[in-house]
Structure 1
Amino acid sequence: MINVTVANFEAEVIEASMHTPVLVDFWAPWCGPCKVIGPLLEKLETDYAGRFKLVKIDSDQEQQLAAAFGVRSIPTCVLLMNGQPVDGFMGAMPEGQIKAFLDKHLPAGAEEAEADAAEPDAQDALAQGDLDGALEKMREAVQAAPDNDDARFDLVKLLLEMGQDDDAKVAFAPVIAKTAGVRRLDSLQRWMAARDAQADVPDPDARAAELQAAIAANKRDFDSRFALAQLLMAYGQWTAAMDELLEILMRDKAWKDDLARKTFIAILDVIDPPKPKVAEGQVPPEDPTVATYRRRLSSVVLS
Protein backbone atom coordinates (compact mmCIF):
# COMPACT_ATOMS: atom_id res chain seq x y z
CA MET A 1 0.00 0.00 0.00
CA ILE A 2 1.38 3.40 -1.04
CA ASN A 3 0.28 6.92 -0.07
CA VAL A 4 -0.07 8.99 -3.22
CA THR A 5 0.16 12.76 -3.69
CA VAL A 6 0.18 15.00 -6.76
CA ALA A 7 3.96 14.67 -6.78
CA ASN A 8 4.06 10.87 -7.23
CA PHE A 9 0.65 10.31 -8.84
CA GLU A 10 1.98 9.93 -12.37
CA ALA A 11 4.56 7.29 -11.39
CA GLU A 12 2.62 5.36 -8.76
CA VAL A 13 -0.77 5.35 -10.46
CA ILE A 14 -0.73 6.14 -14.18
CA GLU A 15 2.57 4.49 -15.11
CA ALA A 16 2.09 1.61 -12.68
CA SER A 17 -1.36 0.82 -14.13
CA MET A 18 0.23 0.21 -17.54
CA HIS A 19 1.45 -3.18 -16.30
CA THR A 20 -0.55 -3.83 -13.06
CA PRO A 21 -4.12 -2.76 -12.23
CA VAL A 22 -4.09 -0.02 -9.58
CA LEU A 23 -6.89 0.40 -7.04
CA VAL A 24 -7.04 3.96 -5.70
CA ASP A 25 -8.65 4.37 -2.27
CA PHE A 26 -9.80 7.96 -1.60
CA TRP A 27 -10.09 8.40 2.17
CA ALA A 28 -9.71 10.91 5.03
CA PRO A 29 -8.56 10.51 8.64
CA TRP A 30 -11.97 11.57 10.04
CA CYS A 31 -13.97 9.10 7.91
CA GLY A 32 -15.35 6.16 9.95
CA PRO A 33 -16.19 3.86 6.98
CA CYS A 34 -12.69 4.52 5.61
CA LYS A 35 -11.25 2.95 8.75
CA VAL A 36 -13.35 -0.14 8.07
CA ILE A 37 -12.52 -0.63 4.41
CA GLY A 38 -8.86 0.44 4.58
CA PRO A 39 -7.51 -2.64 6.43
CA LEU A 40 -9.75 -4.87 4.31
CA LEU A 41 -8.28 -3.50 1.07
CA GLU A 42 -4.76 -4.00 2.45
CA LYS A 43 -5.61 -7.60 3.32
CA LEU A 44 -6.96 -8.21 -0.18
CA GLU A 45 -3.84 -6.72 -1.76
CA THR A 46 -1.83 -9.31 0.16
CA ASP A 47 -4.26 -12.13 -0.63
CA TYR A 48 -4.23 -11.32 -4.35
CA ALA A 49 -0.43 -11.58 -4.38
CA GLY A 50 0.45 -8.94 -6.94
CA ARG A 51 -2.66 -9.12 -9.12
CA PHE A 52 -3.38 -5.46 -8.25
CA LYS A 53 -1.64 -2.57 -6.52
CA LEU A 54 -3.35 -0.57 -3.77
CA VAL A 55 -2.68 3.14 -3.31
CA LYS A 56 -4.33 5.57 -0.89
CA ILE A 57 -5.10 9.25 -1.49
CA ASP A 58 -6.07 11.55 1.39
CA SER A 59 -8.92 13.47 -0.22
CA ASP A 60 -8.55 16.37 2.25
CA GLN A 61 -4.86 16.84 1.53
CA GLU A 62 -5.08 16.07 -2.20
CA GLN A 63 -8.22 17.93 -3.21
CA GLN A 64 -6.93 18.43 -6.75
CA LEU A 65 -6.75 14.66 -7.30
CA ALA A 66 -10.11 14.08 -5.63
CA ALA A 67 -11.70 16.68 -7.90
CA ALA A 68 -10.07 15.16 -10.98
CA PHE A 69 -11.76 11.83 -10.19
CA GLY A 70 -15.08 13.48 -9.32
CA VAL A 71 -15.00 12.20 -5.74
CA ARG A 72 -18.12 13.40 -3.90
CA SER A 73 -18.10 11.07 -0.89
CA ILE A 74 -15.61 8.78 0.79
CA PRO A 75 -14.52 6.13 0.82
CA THR A 76 -14.43 6.00 -2.98
CA CYS A 77 -12.34 3.40 -4.78
CA VAL A 78 -11.35 3.64 -8.45
CA LEU A 79 -9.64 0.91 -10.45
CA LEU A 80 -7.23 2.01 -13.19
CA MET A 81 -5.85 -0.16 -15.99
CA ASN A 82 -3.58 1.02 -18.81
CA GLY A 83 -3.68 4.54 -17.46
CA GLN A 84 -7.48 4.83 -17.50
CA PRO A 85 -10.22 4.43 -14.86
CA VAL A 86 -12.27 1.33 -15.67
CA ASP A 87 -14.63 1.00 -12.69
CA GLY A 88 -15.17 2.02 -9.09
CA PHE A 89 -17.40 1.86 -6.05
CA MET A 90 -18.33 3.99 -3.04
CA GLY A 91 -18.79 3.02 0.58
CA ALA A 92 -17.42 0.32 2.85
CA MET A 93 -18.55 -2.80 1.01
CA PRO A 94 -18.06 -6.26 2.59
CA GLU A 95 -15.13 -8.41 1.52
CA GLY A 96 -17.17 -10.69 -0.73
CA GLN A 97 -18.50 -7.78 -2.79
CA ILE A 98 -15.05 -6.21 -3.10
CA LYS A 99 -13.63 -9.51 -4.31
CA ALA A 100 -16.43 -9.81 -6.86
CA PHE A 101 -15.58 -6.30 -8.05
CA LEU A 102 -11.89 -7.14 -8.37
CA ASP A 103 -12.43 -10.55 -9.97
CA LYS A 104 -14.60 -8.94 -12.65
CA HIS A 105 -11.59 -6.97 -13.91
CA LEU A 106 -8.35 -8.58 -12.79
CA PRO A 107 -6.53 -11.24 -14.79
CA ALA A 108 -6.72 -14.64 -13.13
CA GLY A 109 -3.84 -15.62 -10.89
CA ALA A 110 -2.09 -18.95 -11.31
CA GLU A 111 -4.21 -20.59 -8.61
CA GLU A 112 -7.47 -19.26 -10.02
CA ALA A 113 -6.49 -20.37 -13.52
CA GLU A 114 -5.78 -23.88 -12.22
CA ALA A 115 -9.14 -23.95 -10.45
CA ASP A 116 -10.93 -22.69 -13.56
CA ALA A 117 -9.23 -25.37 -15.64
CA ALA A 118 -10.50 -28.08 -13.30
CA GLU A 119 -14.12 -26.89 -13.47
CA PRO A 120 -14.98 -28.23 -16.97
CA ASP A 121 -13.49 -31.62 -16.06
CA ALA A 122 -15.61 -31.74 -12.92
CA GLN A 123 -18.77 -30.81 -14.81
CA ASP A 124 -18.01 -33.40 -17.52
CA ALA A 125 -17.63 -36.05 -14.83
CA LEU A 126 -20.95 -35.01 -13.31
CA ALA A 127 -22.66 -35.19 -16.68
CA GLN A 128 -21.38 -38.75 -17.06
CA GLY A 129 -22.60 -39.72 -13.61
CA ASP A 130 -19.07 -40.06 -12.24
CA LEU A 131 -19.66 -38.43 -8.85
CA ASP A 132 -16.40 -39.63 -7.34
CA GLY A 133 -14.43 -38.29 -10.30
CA ALA A 134 -16.21 -34.94 -10.10
CA LEU A 135 -15.59 -34.80 -6.36
CA GLU A 136 -11.88 -35.41 -6.88
CA LYS A 137 -11.66 -32.61 -9.47
CA MET A 138 -13.53 -30.21 -7.20
CA ARG A 139 -11.25 -31.00 -4.28
CA GLU A 140 -8.27 -30.28 -6.54
CA ALA A 141 -9.80 -26.95 -7.57
CA VAL A 142 -10.32 -25.85 -3.96
CA GLN A 143 -6.85 -27.00 -2.98
CA ALA A 144 -5.37 -25.01 -5.86
CA ALA A 145 -7.37 -21.87 -5.03
CA PRO A 146 -8.67 -21.87 -1.44
CA ASP A 147 -10.11 -18.36 -1.87
CA ASN A 148 -12.09 -19.28 -4.99
CA ASP A 149 -15.62 -19.14 -3.59
CA ASP A 150 -17.20 -20.61 -6.72
CA ALA A 151 -14.97 -23.68 -6.57
CA ARG A 152 -15.75 -24.15 -2.88
CA PHE A 153 -19.48 -23.70 -3.51
CA ASP A 154 -19.43 -26.50 -6.10
CA LEU A 155 -17.49 -28.81 -3.77
CA VAL A 156 -19.73 -28.29 -0.74
CA LYS A 157 -22.87 -28.58 -2.87
CA LEU A 158 -21.77 -31.92 -4.32
CA LEU A 159 -20.81 -33.26 -0.90
CA LEU A 160 -24.28 -32.38 0.39
CA GLU A 161 -25.94 -33.96 -2.64
CA MET A 162 -23.95 -37.12 -1.95
CA GLY A 163 -25.09 -37.12 1.68
CA GLN A 164 -21.59 -36.45 3.01
CA ASP A 165 -22.73 -33.70 5.37
CA ASP A 166 -19.80 -33.96 7.78
CA ASP A 167 -17.30 -33.62 4.95
CA ALA A 168 -19.32 -30.73 3.57
CA LYS A 169 -19.07 -28.91 6.91
CA VAL A 170 -15.32 -29.44 7.00
CA ALA A 171 -14.99 -28.06 3.47
CA PHE A 172 -17.24 -25.13 4.35
CA ALA A 173 -15.54 -24.22 7.64
CA PRO A 174 -12.80 -21.97 6.13
CA VAL A 175 -15.43 -19.62 4.66
CA ILE A 176 -18.00 -19.46 7.47
CA ALA A 177 -16.94 -15.91 8.31
CA LYS A 178 -17.61 -14.82 4.73
CA THR A 179 -21.27 -15.84 4.57
CA ALA A 180 -22.53 -12.35 5.46
CA GLY A 181 -20.84 -10.92 2.36
CA VAL A 182 -21.05 -13.77 -0.17
CA ARG A 183 -24.63 -14.71 -0.99
CA ARG A 184 -23.94 -18.16 -2.48
CA LEU A 185 -22.03 -19.17 0.63
CA ASP A 186 -24.90 -17.91 2.76
CA SER A 187 -27.20 -20.07 0.62
CA LEU A 188 -25.13 -23.17 1.31
CA GLN A 189 -25.22 -22.44 5.02
CA ARG A 190 -29.02 -22.18 4.92
CA TRP A 191 -29.24 -25.53 3.13
CA MET A 192 -26.97 -27.15 5.72
CA ALA A 193 -29.10 -25.63 8.50
CA ALA A 194 -32.22 -27.14 6.91
CA ARG A 195 -30.58 -30.55 6.80
CA ASP A 196 -29.39 -30.24 10.40
CA ALA A 197 -32.91 -29.32 11.49
CA GLN A 198 -34.12 -32.74 10.31
CA ALA A 199 -31.35 -34.76 11.94
CA ASP A 200 -33.56 -35.78 14.88
CA VAL A 201 -36.74 -36.38 12.87
CA PRO A 202 -37.31 -40.17 12.92
CA ASP A 203 -40.12 -40.21 10.36
CA PRO A 204 -40.00 -37.35 7.79
CA ASP A 205 -43.32 -38.37 6.22
CA ALA A 206 -45.10 -38.31 9.57
CA ARG A 207 -43.52 -34.95 10.39
CA ALA A 208 -44.64 -33.55 7.02
CA ALA A 209 -48.20 -34.77 7.63
CA GLU A 210 -48.19 -33.17 11.08
CA LEU A 211 -47.05 -29.81 9.67
CA GLN A 212 -49.56 -29.95 6.80
CA ALA A 213 -52.36 -30.54 9.31
CA ALA A 214 -51.28 -27.49 11.31
CA ILE A 215 -51.21 -25.39 8.13
CA ALA A 216 -54.66 -26.63 7.08
CA ALA A 217 -56.00 -25.49 10.45
CA ASN A 218 -54.34 -22.08 10.18
CA LYS A 219 -52.96 -20.81 6.87
CA ARG A 220 -51.06 -18.09 8.74
CA ASP A 221 -49.13 -20.61 10.82
CA PHE A 222 -45.90 -19.41 9.27
CA ASP A 223 -43.69 -21.30 11.70
CA SER A 224 -45.23 -24.59 10.52
CA ARG A 225 -44.98 -23.51 6.87
CA PHE A 226 -41.32 -22.64 7.28
CA ALA A 227 -40.61 -25.89 9.13
CA LEU A 228 -42.27 -27.77 6.26
CA ALA A 229 -40.23 -25.79 3.72
CA GLN A 230 -37.04 -26.70 5.59
CA LEU A 231 -38.06 -30.36 5.68
CA LEU A 232 -38.74 -30.35 1.94
CA MET A 233 -35.52 -28.43 1.30
CA ALA A 234 -33.50 -30.94 3.32
CA TYR A 235 -34.72 -33.78 1.12
CA GLY A 236 -34.27 -31.97 -2.18
CA GLN A 237 -37.96 -31.27 -2.85
CA TRP A 238 -37.07 -27.82 -4.06
CA THR A 239 -40.21 -26.62 -5.85
CA ALA A 240 -42.48 -27.80 -3.06
CA ALA A 241 -40.28 -25.97 -0.55
CA MET A 242 -40.41 -22.78 -2.59
CA ASP A 243 -44.19 -23.07 -2.90
CA GLU A 244 -44.48 -23.06 0.89
CA LEU A 245 -42.15 -20.07 1.16
CA LEU A 246 -44.19 -18.20 -1.44
CA GLU A 247 -47.30 -18.82 0.65
CA ILE A 248 -45.57 -17.04 3.54
CA LEU A 249 -44.39 -14.18 1.32
CA MET A 250 -47.86 -13.62 -0.13
CA ARG A 251 -49.18 -13.04 3.39
CA ASP A 252 -46.18 -11.37 5.08
CA LYS A 253 -43.26 -10.30 2.88
CA ALA A 254 -40.99 -9.31 5.79
CA TRP A 255 -41.75 -12.24 8.12
CA LYS A 256 -38.93 -12.78 10.62
CA ASP A 257 -36.53 -10.32 8.98
CA ASP A 258 -37.06 -11.62 5.42
CA LEU A 259 -36.38 -15.22 6.45
CA ALA A 260 -38.74 -16.69 3.85
CA ARG A 261 -37.35 -14.58 1.00
CA LYS A 262 -33.73 -15.27 1.92
CA THR A 263 -34.41 -19.01 2.13
CA PHE A 264 -36.21 -18.92 -1.23
CA ILE A 265 -33.18 -17.22 -2.81
CA ALA A 266 -30.90 -19.79 -1.17
CA ILE A 267 -32.82 -22.58 -2.90
CA LEU A 268 -32.52 -20.81 -6.26
CA ASP A 269 -28.76 -20.52 -5.74
CA VAL A 270 -28.46 -24.21 -4.85
CA ILE A 271 -30.52 -25.56 -7.75
CA ASP A 272 -29.20 -23.17 -10.41
CA PRO A 273 -26.95 -25.36 -12.63
CA PRO A 274 -23.55 -24.15 -13.93
CA LYS A 275 -23.91 -21.85 -16.93
CA PRO A 276 -22.42 -23.15 -20.21
CA LYS A 277 -19.85 -20.95 -21.91
CA VAL A 278 -21.30 -18.87 -24.76
CA ALA A 279 -19.88 -16.49 -27.33
CA GLU A 280 -19.00 -13.00 -26.14
CA GLY A 281 -22.04 -10.77 -25.99
CA GLN A 282 -24.48 -13.65 -25.65
CA VAL A 283 -26.40 -14.51 -22.49
CA PRO A 284 -26.27 -18.14 -21.30
CA PRO A 285 -29.67 -19.85 -21.13
CA GLU A 286 -31.36 -19.96 -17.73
CA ASP A 287 -32.71 -23.15 -16.22
CA PRO A 288 -36.51 -23.16 -16.81
CA THR A 289 -37.37 -24.01 -13.20
CA VAL A 290 -35.06 -21.33 -11.83
CA ALA A 291 -36.42 -18.77 -14.30
CA THR A 292 -40.03 -19.60 -13.41
CA TYR A 293 -39.51 -19.32 -9.67
CA ARG A 294 -37.45 -16.14 -9.99
CA ARG A 295 -40.42 -14.58 -11.79
CA ARG A 296 -42.83 -15.85 -9.15
CA LEU A 297 -40.67 -14.39 -6.38
CA SER A 298 -40.45 -11.02 -8.13
CA SER A 299 -44.20 -11.01 -8.72
CA VAL A 300 -44.94 -11.65 -5.03
CA VAL A 301 -42.31 -9.32 -3.58
CA LEU A 302 -43.13 -6.42 -5.91
CA SER A 303 -46.92 -6.74 -5.65
Structure 2
Amino acid sequence: MAPLLRPRYSLSKEKFSGYFGPLKSQPYTDAASTTRGGGSHQSLRSIAWNPLGSLVATGASDKTLRVWNPEKPNVRFSTELKGHAASIEKVAFNPVKDAELCSLSSDGVVKFWDVRTKACVNEVKGLGNAHTLAWAPDGSSLLAGNRSGELFQLSPTQATVVASYSQPVETNQMAFCWSGQKVFLPTREGSVRILSYPDLEPLLHYNYEVDPEESSEFLLKAHTASCLTAELSPTGRYLATGGADSMMALFDTKDWVCQRTVSSMVGPVKSISFTFDGSYVVGGSEEGAGLDVTHTETGEQVHTFKTAGPCEAVAWAPTRYFLAYSDLGILRIVGVDTDRK
Protein backbone atom coordinates (compact mmCIF):
# COMPACT_ATOMS: atom_id res chain seq x y z
CA MET A 1 0.00 0.00 0.00
CA ALA A 2 1.37 3.41 -0.97
CA PRO A 3 2.08 5.77 1.93
CA LEU A 4 -0.40 8.53 2.70
CA LEU A 5 0.83 11.78 1.15
CA ARG A 6 0.96 14.91 3.26
CA PRO A 7 -0.39 18.18 1.83
CA ARG A 8 2.08 20.22 -0.21
CA TYR A 9 3.52 23.35 1.33
CA SER A 10 6.36 25.67 0.42
CA LEU A 11 9.20 26.76 2.66
CA SER A 12 10.36 30.36 2.58
CA LYS A 13 14.09 30.85 2.09
CA GLU A 14 14.31 32.28 5.62
CA LYS A 15 12.92 29.04 7.09
CA PHE A 16 14.60 26.53 4.77
CA SER A 17 17.83 26.01 6.71
CA GLY A 18 16.01 26.00 10.04
CA TYR A 19 13.76 23.23 8.79
CA PHE A 20 16.48 21.00 7.35
CA GLY A 21 19.25 21.79 9.86
CA PRO A 22 18.13 19.28 12.53
CA LEU A 23 17.27 16.53 10.03
CA LYS A 24 19.60 13.61 9.39
CA SER A 25 19.84 11.74 6.12
CA GLN A 26 18.68 8.14 5.95
CA PRO A 27 20.92 5.57 4.20
CA TYR A 28 19.43 2.91 1.95
CA THR A 29 21.98 0.15 1.55
CA ASP A 30 22.33 -3.34 0.20
CA ALA A 31 25.09 -4.83 2.33
CA ALA A 32 25.76 -7.62 -0.17
CA SER A 33 26.24 -5.13 -3.02
CA THR A 34 28.59 -3.01 -0.92
CA THR A 35 30.62 -6.12 -0.10
CA ARG A 36 30.88 -6.91 -3.82
CA GLY A 37 32.46 -3.51 -4.42
CA GLY A 38 29.40 -1.35 -4.92
CA GLY A 39 30.58 1.12 -2.31
CA SER A 40 32.83 3.17 -4.56
CA HIS A 41 31.67 6.75 -4.93
CA GLN A 42 30.95 6.26 -8.62
CA SER A 43 28.72 3.18 -8.33
CA LEU A 44 25.33 4.89 -8.07
CA ARG A 45 24.78 6.68 -11.39
CA SER A 46 21.10 7.68 -11.48
CA ILE A 47 18.16 8.30 -9.13
CA ALA A 48 14.49 8.72 -10.05
CA TRP A 49 11.24 9.18 -8.11
CA ASN A 50 7.94 7.88 -9.41
CA PRO A 51 5.18 10.49 -10.05
CA LEU A 52 3.60 10.11 -6.59
CA GLY A 53 6.90 10.21 -4.75
CA SER A 54 6.16 6.83 -3.18
CA LEU A 55 9.07 4.93 -4.82
CA VAL A 56 12.71 5.70 -5.63
CA ALA A 57 14.70 3.85 -8.29
CA THR A 58 18.50 3.70 -8.40
CA GLY A 59 20.81 2.52 -11.17
CA ALA A 60 24.47 1.69 -10.56
CA SER A 61 27.65 1.03 -12.50
CA ASP A 62 27.74 -2.50 -11.07
CA LYS A 63 24.54 -3.26 -13.08
CA THR A 64 22.31 -3.11 -9.98
CA LEU A 65 18.83 -1.72 -10.56
CA ARG A 66 16.75 -1.35 -7.41
CA VAL A 67 13.44 0.24 -6.41
CA TRP A 68 13.12 1.47 -2.82
CA ASN A 69 10.24 2.41 -0.54
CA PRO A 70 11.52 5.71 0.91
CA GLU A 71 9.78 5.09 4.23
CA LYS A 72 11.30 1.60 4.65
CA PRO A 73 15.09 1.81 4.21
CA ASN A 74 15.77 -1.86 4.94
CA VAL A 75 16.82 -3.59 1.74
CA ARG A 76 14.28 -6.39 2.26
CA PHE A 77 11.52 -3.88 1.48
CA SER A 78 13.16 -2.96 -1.84
CA THR A 79 12.88 -4.64 -5.23
CA GLU A 80 15.87 -5.61 -7.36
CA LEU A 81 15.22 -5.75 -11.10
CA LYS A 82 17.68 -8.11 -12.79
CA GLY A 83 18.62 -8.32 -16.45
CA HIS A 84 21.11 -5.61 -17.42
CA ALA A 85 24.55 -6.80 -18.53
CA ALA A 86 26.35 -3.43 -18.34
CA SER A 87 26.55 -0.27 -16.24
CA ILE A 88 23.16 1.40 -15.76
CA GLU A 89 23.48 5.00 -16.90
CA LYS A 90 19.95 6.30 -16.42
CA VAL A 91 16.67 5.36 -14.72
CA ALA A 92 13.37 7.20 -15.19
CA PHE A 93 9.76 6.51 -14.23
CA ASN A 94 6.99 7.09 -16.72
CA PRO A 95 5.66 10.56 -15.74
CA VAL A 96 2.03 9.40 -15.94
CA LYS A 97 2.33 5.76 -14.79
CA ASP A 98 3.43 5.20 -11.22
CA ALA A 99 4.76 1.66 -11.67
CA GLU A 100 6.43 1.83 -15.10
CA LEU A 101 10.19 2.27 -14.96
CA CYS A 102 12.67 2.66 -17.79
CA SER A 103 16.39 1.90 -17.45
CA LEU A 104 19.26 2.49 -19.87
CA SER A 105 22.60 0.67 -19.80
CA SER A 106 25.88 1.64 -21.45
CA ASP A 107 25.70 -1.31 -23.86
CA GLY A 108 22.78 0.35 -25.64
CA VAL A 109 19.93 -1.60 -24.04
CA VAL A 110 16.75 0.04 -22.77
CA LYS A 111 14.42 -1.97 -20.57
CA PHE A 112 10.87 -1.18 -19.47
CA TRP A 113 9.72 -2.62 -16.17
CA ASP A 114 6.49 -3.15 -14.26
CA VAL A 115 7.88 -2.64 -10.75
CA ARG A 116 4.82 -4.31 -9.18
CA THR A 117 5.57 -7.67 -10.81
CA LYS A 118 9.36 -7.20 -11.38
CA ALA A 119 8.71 -8.09 -15.03
CA CYS A 120 10.61 -6.60 -17.95
CA VAL A 121 7.69 -5.76 -20.26
CA ASN A 122 9.70 -4.43 -23.20
CA GLU A 123 13.30 -4.13 -24.39
CA VAL A 124 15.05 -2.12 -27.10
CA LYS A 125 18.62 -2.97 -28.13
CA GLY A 126 21.29 -1.56 -30.41
CA LEU A 127 21.57 2.05 -29.20
CA GLY A 128 25.37 2.08 -29.04
CA ASN A 129 27.29 3.57 -26.11
CA ALA A 130 24.13 5.04 -24.58
CA HIS A 131 24.15 7.49 -21.69
CA THR A 132 21.10 9.78 -21.78
CA LEU A 133 17.34 9.24 -21.51
CA ALA A 134 14.23 11.40 -21.02
CA TRP A 135 10.48 10.71 -21.12
CA ALA A 136 8.09 12.94 -23.03
CA PRO A 137 5.67 14.48 -20.47
CA ASP A 138 2.67 12.46 -21.69
CA GLY A 139 4.53 9.18 -21.14
CA SER A 140 3.93 7.93 -24.67
CA SER A 141 7.54 8.11 -25.90
CA LEU A 142 11.14 8.69 -24.89
CA LEU A 143 14.39 10.02 -26.27
CA ALA A 144 17.63 8.15 -25.69
CA GLY A 145 21.07 9.20 -26.81
CA ASN A 146 24.58 7.79 -27.18
CA ARG A 147 28.06 9.27 -27.14
CA SER A 148 28.26 9.30 -30.94
CA GLY A 149 25.59 12.00 -31.18
CA GLU A 150 22.73 9.71 -32.18
CA LEU A 151 19.27 10.17 -30.68
CA PHE A 152 16.54 7.54 -30.69
CA GLN A 153 12.81 7.97 -30.25
CA LEU A 154 11.42 4.99 -28.35
CA SER A 155 7.98 3.68 -27.44
CA PRO A 156 7.40 1.78 -24.18
CA THR A 157 5.39 -0.79 -26.14
CA GLN A 158 7.61 -1.24 -29.21
CA ALA A 159 10.73 -3.43 -29.32
CA THR A 160 12.40 -1.45 -32.11
CA VAL A 161 13.47 2.18 -32.47
CA VAL A 162 10.60 4.42 -33.64
CA ALA A 163 12.90 6.99 -35.25
CA SER A 164 16.59 7.91 -35.13
CA TYR A 165 18.34 11.24 -35.52
CA SER A 166 21.97 12.15 -36.04
CA GLN A 167 23.13 15.23 -34.13
CA PRO A 168 26.16 17.29 -35.24
CA VAL A 169 27.59 17.07 -31.73
CA GLU A 170 27.22 14.72 -28.76
CA THR A 171 24.04 15.34 -26.74
CA ASN A 172 24.12 14.98 -22.97
CA GLN A 173 21.27 14.67 -20.46
CA MET A 174 18.26 16.35 -22.07
CA ALA A 175 14.96 17.75 -20.80
CA PHE A 176 11.49 18.25 -22.29
CA CYS A 177 9.28 21.29 -21.91
CA TRP A 178 6.05 20.49 -20.05
CA SER A 179 3.92 20.59 -23.21
CA GLY A 180 6.21 18.02 -24.82
CA GLN A 181 6.49 20.15 -27.96
CA LYS A 182 10.16 21.00 -27.53
CA VAL A 183 13.24 19.44 -26.03
CA PHE A 184 16.42 21.01 -24.66
CA LEU A 185 19.63 19.29 -25.78
CA PRO A 186 22.87 20.12 -23.90
CA THR A 187 25.93 19.68 -26.11
CA ARG A 188 29.59 18.90 -25.75
CA GLU A 189 30.33 22.39 -27.07
CA GLY A 190 28.78 24.00 -23.97
CA SER A 191 25.56 25.22 -25.58
CA VAL A 192 21.93 24.05 -25.46
CA ARG A 193 19.87 23.39 -28.58
CA ILE A 194 16.09 24.05 -28.45
CA LEU A 195 14.38 21.69 -30.86
CA SER A 196 10.81 20.75 -31.75
CA TYR A 197 9.53 17.31 -30.84
CA PRO A 198 9.24 14.77 -32.33
CA ASP A 199 10.88 16.03 -35.54
CA LEU A 200 13.88 17.62 -33.73
CA GLU A 201 14.11 20.76 -35.84
CA PRO A 202 15.54 24.06 -34.47
CA LEU A 203 12.73 26.23 -33.11
CA LEU A 204 14.51 29.56 -32.64
CA HIS A 205 16.71 31.49 -35.04
CA TYR A 206 18.68 34.73 -34.85
CA ASN A 207 16.66 37.68 -36.21
CA TYR A 208 19.68 39.17 -38.01
CA GLU A 209 21.85 38.02 -40.84
CA VAL A 210 24.70 35.69 -40.04
CA ASP A 211 27.73 34.62 -42.02
CA PRO A 212 26.67 32.26 -44.82
CA GLU A 213 28.97 29.62 -43.40
CA GLU A 214 27.34 29.87 -39.96
CA SER A 215 24.03 28.49 -38.75
CA SER A 216 21.18 30.87 -37.89
CA GLU A 217 20.00 28.50 -35.16
CA PHE A 218 19.67 30.21 -31.78
CA LEU A 219 21.68 28.43 -29.08
CA LEU A 220 21.77 29.01 -25.37
CA LYS A 221 25.40 29.85 -24.61
CA ALA A 222 25.52 28.06 -21.30
CA HIS A 223 29.06 26.99 -20.40
CA THR A 224 32.72 27.40 -21.27
CA ALA A 225 33.10 23.59 -21.27
CA SER A 226 30.76 20.73 -22.13
CA CYS A 227 27.12 21.23 -21.02
CA LEU A 228 26.30 17.98 -19.23
CA THR A 229 22.70 18.26 -18.12
CA ALA A 230 19.54 20.36 -18.31
CA GLU A 231 16.45 20.47 -16.10
CA LEU A 232 13.24 22.49 -16.44
CA SER A 233 11.67 23.83 -13.25
CA PRO A 234 8.19 22.49 -12.35
CA THR A 235 6.76 25.98 -12.94
CA GLY A 236 8.41 26.19 -16.36
CA ARG A 237 9.97 29.54 -15.43
CA TYR A 238 13.62 28.46 -15.46
CA LEU A 239 15.80 26.08 -17.40
CA ALA A 240 18.82 25.04 -15.35
CA THR A 241 21.97 23.75 -17.00
CA GLY A 242 25.08 22.16 -15.54
CA GLY A 243 28.51 22.04 -17.11
CA ALA A 244 31.96 20.55 -16.93
CA ASP A 245 33.11 24.04 -15.90
CA SER A 246 31.61 23.41 -12.41
CA MET A 247 28.90 25.99 -13.06
CA MET A 248 25.13 25.84 -12.96
CA ALA A 249 23.16 28.42 -14.97
CA LEU A 250 19.50 29.47 -14.70
CA PHE A 251 17.85 30.74 -17.89
CA ASP A 252 14.53 32.58 -17.95
CA THR A 253 12.33 30.68 -20.41
CA LYS A 254 10.54 33.83 -21.62
CA ASP A 255 13.51 35.67 -23.10
CA TRP A 256 16.22 32.97 -22.75
CA VAL A 257 18.53 35.26 -20.81
CA CYS A 258 20.76 33.74 -18.14
CA GLN A 259 19.41 35.27 -14.93
CA ARG A 260 22.01 33.90 -12.54
CA THR A 261 24.76 31.34 -12.12
CA VAL A 262 25.82 29.09 -9.26
CA SER A 263 29.59 28.81 -8.91
CA SER A 264 29.98 27.14 -5.52
CA MET A 265 30.23 23.59 -6.86
CA VAL A 266 33.40 21.57 -7.33
CA GLY A 267 33.83 19.44 -10.42
CA PRO A 268 31.52 18.76 -13.40
CA VAL A 269 27.80 19.22 -12.70
CA LYS A 270 26.29 15.84 -13.63
CA SER A 271 22.70 16.25 -12.41
CA ILE A 272 20.25 19.00 -11.40
CA SER A 273 16.96 18.87 -9.52
CA PHE A 274 14.29 21.41 -8.51
CA THR A 275 11.94 21.15 -5.56
CA PHE A 276 8.31 20.42 -6.48
CA ASP A 277 7.40 24.12 -6.19
CA GLY A 278 10.37 25.31 -8.25
CA SER A 279 11.62 27.46 -5.37
CA TYR A 280 14.96 25.71 -4.85
CA VAL A 281 17.51 23.92 -7.00
CA VAL A 282 20.45 21.66 -6.25
CA GLY A 283 23.22 20.24 -8.43
CA GLY A 284 25.17 17.00 -8.15
CA SER A 285 28.86 16.64 -9.00
CA GLU A 286 31.33 13.79 -9.21
CA GLU A 287 33.88 15.78 -7.17
CA GLY A 288 33.95 17.53 -3.82
CA ALA A 289 31.51 17.07 -0.96
CA GLY A 290 28.31 18.71 0.24
CA LEU A 291 25.16 19.78 -1.59
CA ASP A 292 24.41 23.49 -1.86
CA VAL A 293 20.73 24.44 -2.18
CA THR A 294 20.04 27.65 -4.11
CA HIS A 295 16.93 29.85 -4.03
CA THR A 296 15.96 30.13 -7.69
CA GLU A 297 14.51 33.65 -7.56
CA THR A 298 17.43 35.31 -5.79
CA GLY A 299 20.40 32.99 -6.35
CA GLU A 300 21.03 32.88 -2.60
CA GLN A 301 22.59 29.76 -1.12
CA VAL A 302 20.09 28.84 1.60
CA HIS A 303 21.50 25.59 2.94
CA THR A 304 24.31 23.06 2.55
CA PHE A 305 23.72 19.38 3.18
CA LYS A 306 26.86 17.77 4.53
CA THR A 307 27.94 14.62 2.72
CA ALA A 308 30.77 12.15 3.12
CA GLY A 309 31.85 12.41 -0.50
CA PRO A 310 30.84 13.44 -4.02
CA CYS A 311 27.14 13.28 -4.94
CA GLU A 312 26.83 12.65 -8.66
CA ALA A 313 23.07 12.01 -8.67
CA VAL A 314 20.47 14.24 -6.96
CA ALA A 315 16.67 14.14 -7.10
CA TRP A 316 14.07 16.11 -5.15
CA ALA A 317 10.79 14.25 -4.63
CA PRO A 318 7.94 15.41 -6.92
CA THR A 319 5.49 16.07 -4.09
CA ARG A 320 7.44 16.84 -0.92
CA TYR A 321 10.71 18.28 0.40
CA PHE A 322 12.57 14.97 0.27
CA LEU A 323 16.03 15.05 -1.30
CA ALA A 324 17.50 11.79 -2.59
CA TYR A 325 21.19 11.72 -3.47
CA SER A 326 24.15 9.40 -3.96
CA ASP A 327 26.90 9.54 -1.36
CA LEU A 328 29.90 7.21 -1.45
CA GLY A 329 28.00 4.90 -3.76
CA ILE A 330 24.78 4.53 -1.76
CA LEU A 331 21.38 6.17 -1.73
CA ARG A 332 20.55 8.67 1.00
CA ILE A 333 17.34 10.63 1.52
CA VAL A 334 16.93 13.62 3.79
CA GLY A 335 13.48 14.80 4.87
CA VAL A 336 11.73 11.45 5.07
CA ASP A 337 10.56 10.25 8.50
CA THR A 338 11.15 6.52 8.52
CA ASP A 339 9.90 6.23 12.12
CA ARG A 340 6.47 7.75 11.40
CA LYS A 341 3.70 5.27 12.08
Question: If the length of structure 2 is used for normalisation, what is the TM-score?
Answer: 0.25
Structure with greater strand share of residues? 2
Q: Give TM-score scaled by structure 1 length.
A: 0.27
